[in-house]
Structure 1
Amino acid sequence: MSSNTEYTAKDFKSDQYVRWCPGCGDHAVVNTLQKAMAELGIPPHKTAVISGIGCSSRLPYYMNTYGFHTIHGRAAAIATGVKTANPDLTVWQITGDGDCLAIGGNHFIHALRRNVDLNIILLNNKIYGLTKGQYSPTSDRGAVTKSSPYGTVEDPFVPAELTFGARGHFFARAIDVDLAVSKEVMVEAGRHKGASVVEILQNCVIFNDHIHSYVADKEFRAERTIHLKHGEKMLFGKDLNKGLVLDGFTLKAVTIGENGVTLNDILTHDATTRDNFLHQRLAMMDGHELPLAVGVIRSVDAPVYDQEVKKQIDSIREKNPKKTLRDLLLSEETWEVK
């Protein structure tokens, strides 16, 4: 619930010097998050930013909100505790692909399964940056890194696929250099009740530079990404003359005007349908054969864990004659020592 006060991004900036490498995508993320928080209108004193360990996890220092820089992989667990203990707080979890999907993977999937009202910003640069360039759970097969000098021999996690597998109800994606879409999905995540996952494809200029350039660079971003918006046609391309259709159970890219294809043939995005069949297929497009999907891919209402816990506690308290600690202490045999 937003207040009547109008906020600006400056209201959410701390006085700390931002310590990330020049050119790091994290700079764009923190600035965009501050703008998104201002648009949401939730006061800084009703906001908490929780992080684990990694370059991205420095972000709470730069926010004029409550914050907790926790331990490796445990941000989701601690954020769950914060939100459950104080449901009135808006809680953001800032995490990276290593922090969230390696040691923190168990906490991540259960936060989604429970549908805790957290806004999870997952910065994915496909590398461990803080610990100097080891491959991460999202590094591509064959990636040459400090810990895989001859290339990795394993397949990566896809954050979207993991989110859907954990029964997640909100998934969105943006690219760090696309500030407009990044802000759009952060605002939508903040408005959604329940666990929201926003994957930001973020560039590490030191250890994995240009890893997302095949979709991030302006020269071909329009052709290799598709900005999904609920209720609108799934169009992409520089002239918005390409779109997505279903060919049986398979998504297919077509060009309007070719082979009799019209605008009416193009799929309309429904982010709110409970059936996640199409959401999964959209989220798994990778920018090669089919365009990478950005924007809000899935946004479905479902019971929220912290709200359900609060309702349960309130219901039990209402039926219990012991309303306070004093009631409990005086409920059995007592005596007075003089």
Structure 2
Amino acid sequence: MKLLSERVPAPPVRSIGSLKAFIQRLQMAHGRKLVIALPYLWLVLLFMLPFLIVFRISLSELALAVPPYTDLISWADGKLDIALNFANYLLLTEDPLYIDAYLKSLQIAAVSTLCCLVIGYPLAWAVAHSKSSTRNILLLLVILPSWTSFLIRVYAWMGILSNNGVLNNVLMWLGVIDHPLVILRTDLAVYIGIVYSYLPFMVLPIYTALTRLDYSLVEAALDLGAKPIKTFFSVIVPLTRGGIIAGSMLVFIPAVGEFVIPELLGGPDSIMIGRVLWQEFFNNRDWPVASAVATVMLLLLIIPIIWFHKHQNKEMGGQG
């Protein structure tokens, strides 16, 4: 039997304190990089990976299987086969349905964004120049509709715009019209629904820009003899351009792919790309074509995003 002094000592166990010290050293050495890496990791997990999955499906072929598309890569008899199908993208250029849907979506989104800007800028101005005691209440009124279910709000507009709805009944009671106006199931109803739903996303960025505005420049322009209208377009609008562009992006980008509003408020002519996606995915069960439609839509939306970032970089460079 070995003596106690001859026994092999157990390996030292790393204490919890040394692990904490290692983490602290890591944070001190790479803390900035770790903080910057977190948003990129979030984008990779929630944007890039889903986009790559959709892009992979768009290059496959329709198949009677679950899921209803073929694999791009197959291994058989010791051979690796890669089959890329670009016919889905070719179909988008040949079938006028998809081209019309893209153009219609861009048109409705652009007009709705312009309407939100025309309505939202005065609202943001009124909120920014209101008394401090009522400013929070006005902001709450702007945000309050967003707390309600989006679907319920769209259904409410169906009741307002229908032939027997509130709007037609009020106009007929006032004697403005003799017959009900046909608004529901038209493009006008789609415009109304989109403007109502996305108006807060235009108001809030412009309000933020107005609260940061240096009003001494406005006073200087007025003192030098500039008229209020010229001061507004020459001084105020350029200084709040960042809020205008940010609000426009927040309205335009989701409006392009909108599905619920054109489906419930629009008619057969209100064929937006969101409705086409739904029909291809769930009605036709053609996932490859639907994925190609979604991929092209995402690529189109990247263009205004890149332009927005370039504008922001120019503004930051000019301020620096």
Considering Cα pairs closer than 8 Å and 6+ residues apart, tell me whether 1 or 2 has the greater RCO. Answer: 2
Q: Do they fold alike, i.e. is TM over 0.5?
A: no
How does the TM-score come out when normalised to structure 2? 0.22
How does the TM-score come out when normalised to structure 1? 0.21
Greater C-alpha Rg: 2
Which structure has the highest helix share of the two?
2
Which structure has the highest strand share of the two?
1
